[in-house]
Chain A
């Protein structure tokens, strides 16, 4: 007979309490709001799934969601390959290693809102260094406060500047963990640089790359502060990503019900896509 000791559960209790306090309870409040309507005075009326239906059907939500996916797609498309390339070209031994690492880590140490302000000042036409240079020196018509395309390019480049380092550092960690013998064996086997990348470096980076892709997906999908400080969602609604729109509904219009329903949909999408990524990327290991 197998006897099971259930005492171990007591060790989990404090964590459970903590998580309940800072995640589960607030989350349930949101669920609570999402199915009710309120006109103030703490009076609530049952609404059912009405808000969810309204949100999902609204053009405004669909447009924001579309922008959000486009943004995240561009971010992953640029940052992941760029991060790998930078990591591959970083020195692995010697004096320059700490210098490169510190330089790489620098952008990540800057607070989000500071990054937003920095890029705002940097790219403003006439005043900003980049804005002035593009418009008055190169003669390129660039104004992120007026043109949607300029705004998009600026938001994307800002994120690339801020977060490619994360991919670089994770990939670099994967690369330095490869023993020299692998490179030596590849030399003896006559492998080309591409083969070395394809069969040695990429497989060894896979675990950290999975983490990098997941983190970059979640972060860029939930991004708020930087674009909000930089463009405020404009010009027009062109850079109004999901989170910016959500804040507008929740705090600007104080529509608690629709905002709560939107939060839950937002959360569900993030969770679902993360799960799909993770399953796809770790599929091979399970075999």
Chain B
């Protein structure tokens, strides 16, 4: 078990990178607490898997260091880092039984037979696969195969971290939640640092204590699921997390308020800095309807079960609101009210309004 620290990490797949665009990872400084459950969240191609492969040692970064408890492991191969990794597609050794699969990493390290048996039995019990130990691994269902690949990671009691690279992609939807809760339970039992890569926000938010959101090879925000939802540091986080995502509306900044389509909007606090492009960010959940406010034209209402998503136009800008009752008719005129403590201004994408003192 260890704290994992990435300092000034950069990686490019090109031999001689020229500009920042040539880097798959631009500049990463992250510290992963020992025993934490983390999620790496971002759209496809944002560098999540690259980052994961660098931590496990499958890739050597172009620049920067990886420290496990202050020990520099940047140059160490994967098998010497005591890292476990679970891949998108379950990796199992077809010709071996489930038990042999689980024993494989220990056998390769020359662990004695008695210890191997004890550890394999322990892990099998943890994963509910004890009755499968003697069966051939090739005939298993995908979710059981994925469990076995997880088990191969957990079987070593000296693992520093377990990493999951979109492990639920090939699992049937009805088994996904089962495996996900199993993962959570495992984390509580083994207390190893776990890093979970996904582009699915539900998976990230349910699994992790802390979520690292990435975009274009950069970390945009690190925070608890609540922090990411309540106060996105970047319009990308606001838009990527939440369903539907945060409304990002072009506006003008004026002191401690924003002017959006000619209407004054109260904000959480004063705006700092100047220049650049300014946007007003507000989550659809905090857009309400009232008798006064910003006039809008309702274009569409979708019933998505628990609530309604209302699409509306203010001037030439489209936005969304979420409501549980008082649903307006499509085509009608309404007045929108933005919750001031949830209305923020972003300058060139990054948050520029100050948090209101509690």
A-side interface residues toward B, CB under 8 Å?
A: 179, 181-182, 184-185, 187-192, 195, 199-200, 203-204, 284, 287
Decide yes or no: A188 and B56 within 8 Å by CB, A181-B91, A199-B96 being known contacts. Answer: yes
On whether the beta carbons of B96 and A190 are closer than 8 Å, the reply is no
Decide yes or no: A200 and B93 within 8 Å by CB, A185-B87, A190-B108 being known contacts. Answer: yes
Decide yes or no: A191 and B91 within 8 Å by CB, A185-B149, A199-B96, A287-B136 being known contacts. Answer: no
Decide yes or no: A187 and B78 within 8 Å by CB, A179-B89, A195-B108, A203-B95 being known contacts. Answer: yes
Interface centre among A179, A190, A191, A203 (most CB of B within 10 A): A190
On whether the beta carbons of A188 and B78 are closer than 8 Å, the reply is yes
Give B228 Cβ to nearest chain A Cβ, in Å.
29
Give B162 Cβ to nearest chain A Cβ, in Å.
11
Decide yes or no: A199 and B109 within 8 Å by CB, A181-B87, A188-B85, A287-B136 being known contacts. Answer: no
A204 to B83, CA, bound (A): 26
A44 to B93, CA, bound (A): 62
Give A90 Cβ to nearest chain B Cβ, in Å.
22
Q: For residue B108, which residues in chain A have a CB less than 8 angstroms away from its CB?
A: 189-192, 195
On whether the beta carbons of B85 and A184 are closer than 8 Å, the reply is yes
Q: Does B190 contact A (CB under 8 A)?
A: no
Q: For residue B93, which residues in chain A have a CB less than 8 angstroms away from its CB?
A: 199-200, 203
A204 to B57, CA, bound (A): 25
Pick the 10 closest A-B CB pairs, nearest first: A190-B79, A181-B87, A190-B108, A185-B91, A189-B105, A199-B93, A203-B94, A187-B78, A188-B78, A203-B95
Mark out the residues of chain B between 180 and 232 whose CB falls within 8 Å of any chain A CB in the assembled complex: none
On whether the beta carbons of B84 and A188 are closer than 8 Å, the reply is yes
What are 27 pairs between A and B in contact, CB < 8 Å?
Answer: A179-B91, A181-B87, A181-B89, A181-B91, A182-B91, A184-B53, A184-B85, A184-B87, A185-B85, A185-B87, A187-B78, A187-B79, A188-B56, A188-B79, A189-B104, A189-B105, A189-B108, A189-B152, A190-B109, A191-B108, A192-B108, A199-B93, A199-B96, A199-B104, A200-B93, A203-B95, A284-B95
Q: For residue A184, which residues in chain B have a CB less than 8 angstroms away from its CB?
A: 53, 56, 58, 78, 85, 87
Q: For residue B105, which residues in chain A have a CB less than 8 angstroms away from its CB?
A: 188-190
Q: Does B77 contact A (CB under 8 A)?
A: yes
Q: Digit string of B115-130 for contact with A (CB within 8 Å is 1, else 0)? A: 0000000000000000
Give B153 Cβ to nearest chain A Cβ, in Å.
8
Specify the chain B residue showing the minimal Cβ separation from A204.
B94
Give B75 Cβ to nearest chain A Cβ, in Å.
15
Q: Does B311 contact A (CB under 8 A)?
A: no
On whether the beta carbons of A187 and B77 are closer than 8 Å, the reply is yes
Q: Does B88 contact A (CB under 8 A)?
A: yes
Q: Digit string of B9-37 for contact with A (CB within 8 Å is 1, else 0)? A: 00000000000000000000000000000
Give A96 Cβ to nearest chain B Cβ, in Å.
18
Specify the chain A residue showing the minimal Cβ separation from B94.
A203
On whether the beta carbons of A191 and B78 are closer than 8 Å, the reply is no
The answer, among A189, A284, A287, for a CB contact under 8 Å with B79, is A189
Decide yes or no: A199 and B85 within 8 Å by CB, A187-B77, A192-B108 being known contacts. Answer: no
Specify the chain B residue showing the minimal Cβ separation from A182.
B91
Interface centre among B58, B91, B105 (most CB of A within 10 A): B91
On whether the beta carbons of A181 and B88 are closer than 8 Å, the reply is yes
Q: Digit string of B26-68 for contact with A (CB within 8 Å is 1, else 0)? A: 0000000000000000000000000001001110000000000
Q: For residue A204, which residues in chain B have a CB less than 8 angstroms away from its CB?
A: 94
